[in-house]
A = this chain, B = another copy of it.
Amino acid sequence: MEIDKRITILNVSQALFSRFGFVKTTVDEIAKLARIGKGTVYHYFKSKEQVFAEVIKRESNTLQEKIQKALRGKQTPQDKLTAFVKTRSRHLKDLTNYYSALTDDYLEHYAFVEETRQKYLEREIQTVKDILEEGVEKGVFDIEDTKITAQAIVLLFKALEYPWSVKKDKFDIELSTNKFLNILFKGIEKRK
B-contacting residues of A (Cβ < 8 Å)?
Answer: 105, 108, 114, 117-118, 121, 144-145, 148-149, 151-152, 155-156, 158-160, 162, 164-168, 171, 175-176, 179-180, 182-188, 191
Task: Select one of B114, B118, B165, B182 contacting A117, CB under 8 A.
Answer: B165
Instruction: Tell me whether B159 and A108 are in contact (CB under 8 A).
Output: no
Closest to A116 in B: B165
Instruction: Tell me whether A149 and B117 are in contact (CB under 8 A).
Output: no
User: A76: shortest Cβ distance to chain B, in Å?
Assistant: 18
Instruction: Tell me whether A155 and B160 are in contact (CB under 8 A).
Output: yes
Copies of this protein, total: 2
Instruction: Tell me whether A158 and B164 are in contact (CB under 8 A).
Output: yes
Q: CA A173 – CA B160 in complex, angstroms? A: 19
Further 14 A-B residue pairs, CB within 8 A, beyond A151-B176, A156-B156, A159-B162: A105-B105, A108-B166, A117-B164, A117-B165, A117-B166, A118-B167, A121-B165, A144-B179, A149-B183, A152-B156, A155-B160, A159-B159, A183-B184, A191-B191
Return chain B residues, CB-CB under 8 Å to A182.
144
Return chain B residues, CB-CB under 8 Å to A167.
114, 118
Task: Select one of B155, B164, B179, B191 contacting A145, CB under 8 A.
Answer: B179
Instruction: Tell me whether A118 and B159 are in contact (CB under 8 A).
Output: no
Task: Select one of B166, B179, B184 contacting A114, CB under 8 A.
Answer: B166
Return chain B residues, CB-CB under 8 Å to A176.
148, 151-152
Q: CA A179 – CA B150 in complex, angstroms? A: 11
User: A111: shortest Cβ distance to chain B, in Å?
Assistant: 10
Q: CA A155 – CA B159 in complex, angstroms? A: 6
Return chain B residues, CB-CB under 8 Å to A191.
191
Closest to A154 in B: B159
Closest to A183 in B: B187
Closest to A166 in B: B114
